[in-house]
C-alpha cells in the first residue's frame, strides 16, 4: 500500500487527523530543505507538501511566489530536489508529496517525471493546473508507479465536476477552502462543511483543506470536518523570517508545526 494510503488508514483507525505543511524546495537552499523536512515530522506533521519552484506559480500568493523566486535564484533544479528527497527518504516516515505545475511535468515527459519522482522517494503528486478532462494519462502513470495523484477542488468548481475530481483523486482530495490565491487568512468560509459533505457523498478518499489555514484555531476548525489541514503561506513566511533574523528555519519549522498540531483535537501524526 502507498505510504499516503497507509497513513490515512492508520489515522482513521485511531479517529485522528493529519497536519500537512507546505514548503518550497530550495527556499534558503536545498540543505535548508533537507533540515526542515525532518523538523516538520518532529513537530507532528504527517505529510509534507513540497513545492517544486516554478517561475509562474499557479494560484500562489505573494509569500509562496517570493519563495519560489528565491529558490530559483539560488539555483534549485529538479534533479537537485530529487537527490535531496532520495537522501532524506530512508530517515523519515513522513508522506512526501510533490506539488508541481504540469508545465514542468510536460517539459520533462510525464512517464519520466513520475518515474524519477517515485524513485527519489515521493509518495504522491499534486498537479494544481491539470484539468480533470485531461488527467487520465497522469492518473495511469502515477498508479503504475505506485504514487497517489491529488487534484484541486475549488469553491467555484461546479458540483458535478467537483464530484468527478474527487472520484479521480487518489491519496487525498485537495479542497481549496476559498477563492483567490494562497495566503494567510483570519477566518475560514462558513460554507466549507457543506462543500465537504458533498464530496464525502462522492468518495471515501480523505479530504485535505488548504488556502488560508494559518493557526492552531484554523487547524482545529478544519479537522473538525475534514481529514487533514494544509498550511502553506504561514509556514513559508515563518521559515523565511527566521532565516532573515539570523535564526534556524528548521527550529522554527518544528516550533510552528508543534503549535499547529495542538489544533488536531487530540489527534496525532506519524511522528
Quick one: cell of 185? 487568512
Distance of CA 247 to the CA centre of its chain: 25
Residue 271 resides in a domain = no
| Mean pLDDT of the residues in the chain | 91
Report if residue 24 sits inside a domain: yes
Tell me what pLDDT residue 209 has: 95
> Does pLDDT of 40 surpass 90?
yes
Look at residue 9 and tell me if it is in a domain. Answer: yes
Question: In this model, does residue 254 exceed pLDDT 70?
Answer: yes
Within a domain: residue 103? yes
Instruction: Measure the CA–CA gap between 235 and 133, rounded to whole angstroms.
Output: 32
Percent of the chain with pLDDT strictly greater than 70: 92
Residue 111 inside a domain? The answer is yes
- Residue 184: the pLDDT is 44
Cβ atoms within 10 Å of 161's Cβ, excluding its own: 15
Tally of domains in the chain: 1
| Residue in 5, 27, 41, 49 annotated catalytic | 49
DSSP string, 44-108: T-SEEEEEPP-SS-SS--HHHHHHHHHHHHTT--HHHHHHHHHHHGGG--SEEEEE--HHHHHHH
| 166 neighbors 215 (Cβ within 8 angstroms) | no
Tell me: pLDDT of 39 over 70.
yes
Active site residue 204: no
The CATH number assigned to the domain holding 100 equals 3.20.20.70
pLDDT > 90 in the chain, percent: 83
- Indicate which residue of 5, 60, 116, 252 is catalytic: 60
The region of weakest confidence among 161-165, 174-178, 193-197, 250-254 is: 174-178
In a domain, 47, yes or no: yes
Torsion angle of the four alpha carbons 41, 45, 47, 53, in this order, in degrees rounded to the nearest 10: -80
Per the structure, the complete domain to which residue 109 belongs is given by: 3-261
DSSP state, 190? Answer: T
Q: What is the mean pLDDT of residues 24-52?
A: 98
Answer yes or no: is 270 within a domain. no
Cβ atoms within 10 Å of 81's Cβ, excluding its own:
25
| pTM of the entire predicted model | 0.92
266 in any annotated domain: no
Whether 49 is a known active-site residue: answer yes
Amino acid at each position: 500500500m502507498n505510504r499516503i494510503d497507509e497513513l490515512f488508514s492508520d489515522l482513521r483507525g485511531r479517529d485522528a487527523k493529519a497536519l500537512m505543511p507546505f514548503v518550497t524546495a530550495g527556499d534558503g537552499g536545498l540543505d535548508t530543505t533537507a533540515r526542515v523536512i525532518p523538523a516538520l515530522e518532529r513537530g507532528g506533521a504527517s505529510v509534507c507538501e513540497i513545492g517544486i519552484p516554478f517561475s509562474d506559480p499557479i494560484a500562489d500568493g505573494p509569500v509562496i511566489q517570493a519563495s519560489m523566486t528565491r529558490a530559483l535564484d539560488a539555483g534549485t533544479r529538479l534533479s537537485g530536489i530529487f537527490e535531496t528527497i532520495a537522501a532524506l527518504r530512508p530517515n523519515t516516515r513522513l508522506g512526501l508529496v510533490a506539488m508541481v505545475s504540469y508545465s514542468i511535468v510536460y517539459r520533462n515527459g510525464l512517464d519520466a517525471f513520475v518515474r524519477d519522482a517515485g524513485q527519489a522517494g515521493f509518495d504522491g503528486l499534486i498537479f494544481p493546473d491539470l484539468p480533470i478532462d485531461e488527467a487520465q494519462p497522469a492518473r495511469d502513470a502515477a498508479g503504475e508507479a505506485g504514487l497517489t495523484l491529488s487534484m484541486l477542488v475549488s469553491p467555484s468548481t461546479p458540483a458535478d465536476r467537483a464530484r468527478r475530481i474527487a472520484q479521480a483523486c487518489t491519496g487525498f482530495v485537495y479542497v481549496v477552502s476559498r477563492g483567490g490565491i494562497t495566503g494567510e487568512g483570519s477566518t475560514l468560509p462558513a460554507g466549507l462543511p457543506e462543500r465537504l459533505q458533498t464530496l464525502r457523498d462522492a468518495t471515501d478518499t480523505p479530504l485535505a483543506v488548504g488556502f488560508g489555514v494559518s493557526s492552531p484555531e484554523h487547524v482545529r476548525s478544519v479537522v473538525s470536518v475534514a481529514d487533514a489541514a494544509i498550511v502553506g503561506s504561514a509556514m513559508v513566511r515563518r521559515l523565511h523570517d527566521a532565516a532573515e533574523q539570523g535564526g534556524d528555519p528548521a527550529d522554527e519549522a518544528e516550533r510552528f508545526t508543534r503549535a499547529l498540531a495542538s489544533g488536531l483535537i487530540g489527534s496525532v501524526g506519524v511522528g
